[in-house]
């Protein structure tokens, strides 16, 4: 295993942006700060977030209702401050991107438009290891259309003896019974990065709609949703995007669907802004993704997303991806004899290594935290997930985690 001095040397040469974040104190081990590897569950707080949020609160205190149109960041168009950075993050046009709601709410709103079972084309394709909320969402959508989820949902499994899906097997599942393909861009359990452009193209060729849950991909890997011709996508902002627990999510709808007669649920914010306060009884939706908005945006929830997106705009996803590959590769090199179920090819994974461990992943995560100050997360019964986030994780963090794991797994 590489030694501690080598890890420190790598940090000096490749420092990342740890100084922009609050690092929690360690309650165990020999170091003051934790080695934090749970950014795939909840990202750390940017130091700028608190001050920016307090500034928005101060505007409410000082302006009252006039804050909708006055102040440094008036509330009425506030969501527009997030549109450009969110679009750049995922490779989209501003007209295709909006920050709103939570992830599963957005998936439901999108499936109202894009899951339209008819005739023999009724099925939804998802991963068998999809995040549970996605499974719940698609089952309820299928039931809503009067169909049996057990008959009309195709759950893709890896080949026997393998841990991740092969692109050719995913594509082979598409036939003329498939109405919607809804997959995770990066699988939450294994960390596998799916071949989004190839799968999207194959889905379209088969006559299906292609949608993506990017909860573990946005802010983790570079995306080009517009150029890849993705029909729709949704993602949250509290993992790699560091916008806080339960932070607002976002939506992408390709421009070819904008201004169309697709069915949608509508509300106060679905009508065009110019005529919103005419209080007309019939909505006039704009020819943008904002037609999918329903409710007045929650300003104090939007502020942390705006602050975080500014960091990504400044640093850039390509630079983050390059550091992510170096950092994750370094951690992998230290894990001698550990069963890594994440693809070994850096092109096929994000900033995550999932380890299959014996003896209980939960107990191992607990000991890592309390005895060594290393925060990982686990998925029962036997998967420990380590996410070296390129914005704030360090090579020394990786060395600490690998050293602690070596001791605990030997025991």
Is 139:289 a contact under the CB 8 Å cutoff?
no
In a domain? residue 204:
yes
Question: In angstroms, rounded to a whole number, what is the distance separating the alpha carbons of residues 107 and 129?
Answer: 17
One domain for residues 250 and 352: no
Assess whether 181 and 119 both reside in one domain. Answer: yes
Domain enclosing residue 31, as ranges: 4-40+316-410
Cα–Cα distance for residue pair 84/106, rounded to 1 Å: 19
Is the model's pLDDT at 401 over the cut of 60?
yes
Domain identity same for 112 and 68: yes
Beta carbons within 8 Å of 401's beta carbon, 6+ residues apart: 35, 37, 331, 368, 374, 376, 386
Strands 250-253 and 232-235: antiparallel
* Residue that has been written with the tokens 């009067």 in this structure: 146
Domain with 219 in it: what CATH number? 3.40.640.10
91 and 191 in a single domain? The answer is yes
Query: Would you place residue 359 in the very low, low, confident or very high pLDDT band (cuts 50, 70, 90)?
Result: confident
The pLDDT of residue 28: 82
Q: At which of 287, 313, 339 does a domain end?
A: 313
Percent of residues, the chain, with pLDDT higher than 90: 96
**Signed CA dihedral, 263, 95, 91, 301: sign only:** negative
Tell me if 194 sits within 8 A of 225, measured CB to CB.
no
Residue 142's φ and ψ, nearest 5 degrees, are -65, -45
In a domain, 156, yes or no: yes
Same domain, 300 and 331: no
- Which pLDDT score, from 0 to 100, does residue 360 have? 87
What is the bridge-based pairing of β-strands 209-213 and 232-235?
parallel
pLDDT of residue 411: 80
Average pLDDT over residues 90-118: 98
pLDDT score, position 1: 57
Q: What is the DSSP string of 27-40?
A: SSSSSSB-EE-BTT
Q: Tell me: do 86 and 151 sit in the same domain.
A: yes
What local confidence, expressed as pLDDT, does residue 12 receive? 98
Q: Evaluate whether residue 49 is within a structural domain.
A: no
Q: Is 210 found in the same domain as 65?
A: yes
For residue 16, the domain's CATH number is 3.90.1150.10
Domain boundary among 260, 294, 313: 313
Domain count, the chain: 2
Mean pLDDT for 307-313 is: 98
Q: How confident is the model at residue 271 (pLDDT cuts 50, 70, 90)?
A: very high
* pLDDT band at 385; cut points 50, 70, 90: very high
In a domain, 48, yes or no: no
d(CA 107, CA 138): 9
User: Is 46 a domain residue?
Assistant: no
Q: What are 175-230's pLDDT values in tens digits? A: 999 999 999 999 999 999 999 999 999 999 999 999 999 999 999 999 999 999 99
Contact (Cβ atoms closer than 8 angstroms) between residue 324 and residue 312: no
């Amino acid at each position: 295993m590489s030694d501690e001095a080598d890890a420190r040397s790598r940090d000096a040469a490749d420092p990342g942006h740890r100084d922009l974040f609050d690092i929690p104190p360690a309650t165990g081990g020999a170091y003051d700060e934790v080695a934090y590897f749970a950014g795939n569950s909840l990202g750390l707080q940017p130091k700028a977030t608190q001050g920016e949020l307090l500034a928005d609160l101060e505007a409410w205190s000082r302006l009252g209702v006039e804050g909708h149109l006055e102040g440094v960041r008036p509330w009425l168009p506030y969501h527009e401050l997030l549109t450009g950075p969110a679009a750049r993050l995922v490779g989209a046009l501003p007209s295709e991107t909006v920050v709103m709601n939570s992830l599963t709410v957005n998936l439901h709103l999108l499936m109202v438009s894009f899951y339209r079972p008819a005739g023999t084309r009724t099925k939804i394709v998802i991963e068998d290891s999809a995040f549970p909320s996605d499974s719940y969402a698609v089952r309820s959508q299928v039931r809503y259309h009067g169909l049996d989820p057990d008959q009309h949902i195709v759950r893709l499994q890896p080949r026997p003896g393998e841990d991740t899906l092969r692109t050719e097997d995913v594509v082979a599942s598409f036939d003329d019974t498939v109405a919607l393909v809804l997959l995770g861009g990066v699988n939450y359990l294994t960390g596998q990065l799916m071949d989004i452009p190839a799968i999207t193209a194959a889905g379209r060729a088969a006559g299906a709609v292609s949608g993506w849950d990017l909860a573990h991909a946005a802010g983790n890997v570079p995306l080009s949703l517009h150029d890849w011709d993705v029909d729709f996508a949704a993602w949250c902002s509290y993992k790699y995007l560091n916008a806080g627990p339960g932070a607002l999510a976002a939506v992408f709808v390709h421009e070819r669907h904008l201004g169309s007669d697709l069915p949608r649920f509508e509300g106060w914010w679905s009508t065009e802004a110019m005529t919103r306060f005419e209080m007309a009884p019939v909505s006039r939706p704009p020819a943008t993704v904002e037609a999918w908005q329903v409710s007045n945006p929650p300003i104090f929830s939007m502020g942390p997303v705006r602050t975080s997106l500014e960091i990504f705009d400044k640093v850039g996803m390509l630079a983050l991806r390059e550091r992510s590959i170096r950092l994750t590769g370094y951690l992998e090199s230290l894990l001698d004899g550990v069963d890594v179920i994440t693809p070994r090819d850096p092109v096929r994974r994000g900033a995550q290594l999932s380890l299959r461990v014996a003896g209980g992943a939960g107990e191992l995560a607990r000991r890592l935290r309390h005895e060594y100050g290393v925060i990982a997360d686990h998925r029962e019964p036997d998967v420990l997930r380590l996410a070296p986030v390129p914005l704030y994780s360090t090579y020394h963090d990786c060395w600490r985690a690998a050293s602690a794991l070596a001791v605990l797994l030997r025991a």
